[in-house]
A and B are shown apart, each in its own frame.
Chain A
């Protein structure tokens, strides 16, 4: 693909200034999202995936967090250095976000109709009647029953699943090119989750929008993404085609993530837990941050951070992988079969 991807993140670094110490939340992250593509960003809590999204949209908690390096190319502009007023013009119009907790993401004192209408109101010259029609259209598209009757309702009057769909609707009204979904299914239970995923997949096919899907759940990624980036301690450790990675993860962390995802229908004795705990982001070691918990670790891993080893059209940052050693998994094949 020679054409410029819709979103190109290059060596992004976002650091957070604490009372005494700097948290390197995003430490040299690079990836792309093509037009019409669905890309996953996977990692545990604290891996930096949410902060990456916030950095792309420039919504980090401002006093303490700052983008200290790197570029975010989107539709010809570098979002890392754009002015706030430019960003306001892009957010909600060309790039939308679907957040994790729909009840918290919706303003409790304003009606749902008002909130879904807002992006249209402030980003388009559409008159009120046209906006109303568009709002209803979008609410129908996300399968809210009888939306005409519910425009005046407030967020707490809807169920969790519907709220999440409303939040998605808010993002879709202006037909953005890129939708960043930050763990949108975490707050939902499994059946609702499945419905929501199907919905988004369909919408994506209809509108041709791109999706950046952020989650800790590889199972979800398997269902909806074409490519995936695995994050650990603020960096991307493995990236590539979803089916390849699920079938044969090269980074020990990716393999471990897959081991710890419970798969419906598979009998297991115990849920696998990655031993150890995530590293202290204020005191990152010079070598690979996964060293302490890695079953394939070698001496060089402790002192030097592994460079990218190309794999297919992706890459992996791992000395073991570079040396040809691959982690063994039993679940890899099973999870891979879930991919569409």
Chain B
């Protein structure tokens, strides 16, 4: 980089213009999609036209409303047990969001904590934590999840419990990297000279600066968690049936794929839309939180 860009290049306009630009560049579509899904998840009991687990064999395998044989009674059709696809889709969103949210909070929390300690501590403790992190990151997530769920039993809690350490490891690694970088800054040295305790330094000086990294990783990992949870449900080791989960719906619809595609298509689209929107927002967040962002 050219060594000395003048200050003019760093400001880029008045406050009002920067605010307006920010608004213009905010990705509205993905935010709207996420909004819809979140609302759907929260208000599922009111929005879903049917009980998602109610079996009704007389109305099994009905196509969506825009196809011949379909009706507006079941907008997206029904599956092989007569359960309404749309309702299952809405409730499935709940599971995906709950799992992703819980794993991010638990895993992210533990990971951030360990990352802060690891980055800030003496080399021994850091090395120990790092080996642990590496070990966890070397484990094949889905395989371990299979084992865990088999051993502990299939439930919402076991899915959350098994996925959390993997997310924690990722957080630890990234947070540690940030801490190592921030640690070298002057204000940390100043705080230490002023007699602040380690804990105080970590929480008052380092943590706020790591915040933007945490936000970005969290957004990007949520998408990954949703995909893993979907894979687990697909394999039959996610949240136990008959609770609807998108992955499970895809697996259920698999045998009818060539003719009655809707059972697998819509949950797949739902997963895609959700993860796509989250990743889009994550990318956008990463861009605006990047301190080097200046030029055209």
Contacts and interface: CB of A to CB of B under 8 A. Distances in A.
Given A18-B12, A18-B296, A64-B296, A46 B6 contact: yes
A55 to B, nearest CB: 12
B14 to A, nearest CB: 9
B3 A100 contact: yes
A19 B294 CA distance: 8
A63 B296 contact: yes
Interface string B1-22: 0111111110011000100010
B295 interface: yes
Contacts of A281: 6, 8-9
Contacts of B13: 19-21
Contacts of B12: 18-21
B10 to A, nearest CB: 10
Interface in A40-89: 45-46, 50-51, 54, 61, 63-64
Interface in A83-135: 100-101
B3 A19 contact: no
B130 to A, nearest CB: 26
Contacts of A50: 2-4
A280 interface: yes
A183 B4 CA distance: 12
Interface in A181-211: 183
B4 A45 contact: yes
A280 B7 contact: yes
Contact of B295 (A54, A64, A277, A278): A64
Given A19-B12, A21-B12, A21-B13, A45 B296 contact: no
Nearest to A54: B2
Given A19-B12, A23-B9, A46 B4 contact: yes
Contacts of B5: 46
A281 B17 CA distance: 18
Interface in A12-42: 16-21, 23
Contacts of B9: 16, 18, 23, 281
Interface residues of A, number: 24
B3 to A, nearest CB: 6
Contacts of B8: 21, 23, 46, 280-283
Number of chain B interface residues as a range: 10 to 19
A51 B5 CA distance: 10
A278 B3 CA distance: 16
A101 B17 CA distance: 36
Contact of B6 (A20, A23, A63): A23
Interface in B281-296: 294-296
Interface string A309-332: 000000000000000000000000
Interface string B254-296: 0000000000000000000000000000000000000000111
Contacts of A16: 9
A240 B194 CA distance: 53
Interface in A272-288: 277-278, 280-283
B296 A19 contact: yes
B283 to A, nearest CB: 19
B6 A278 contact: yes
Nearest to B17: A20
Interface string A252-287: 000000000000000000000000011011110000
Nearest to B295: A64
A278 B7 CA distance: 9
A280 B11 CA distance: 10
B7, B9, B296, most chain A CB atoms within 10 A: B9
A278 B9 CA distance: 12
B21 A19 contact: yes
A169 to B, nearest CB: 22
Given A19-B13, A21-B13, A45 B295 contact: no
A19 B7 contact: no
B6, B294, B295, B296, most chain A CB atoms within 10 A: B6
A236 to B, nearest CB: 17
A220 B21 CA distance: 45
Contacts of A64: 295-296
Given A18-B12, A18-B296, A45 B17 contact: no
Contacts of A283: 8
A17 B296 CA distance: 7
B40 to A, nearest CB: 37
A183 B13 CA distance: 31
A277 B9 CA distance: 15
Contact of A101 (B3, B7, B21, B295): B3
A67 to B, nearest CB: 16
Contacts of B21: 19-20
A64 B5 CA distance: 13
B182 to A, nearest CB: 24
A318 to B, nearest CB: 22
Nearest to B21: A19
Contacts of A19: 12-13, 21, 294-296
B263 to A, nearest CB: 48
Contacts of A46: 4-8
A231 to B, nearest CB: 13
Contacts of B2: 50-51, 54, 61
B68 to A, nearest CB: 53
Interface of B: 2-9, 12-13, 17, 21, 294-296
12 contacts: A18-B9, A18-B296, A19-B13, A20-B21, A23-B9, A45-B4, A46-B4, A54-B2, A64-B295, A280-B6, A280-B8, A281-B6
Given A46-B4, A64-B295, A64-B296, 5 more contacts: A19-B296, A23-B6, A45-B6, A46-B7, A280-B8
Q: Return the 7 tightest CB-CB contacts between A and B, nearest first.
A: A46-B6, A45-B4, A20-B13, A280-B8, A281-B8, A19-B12, A282-B8
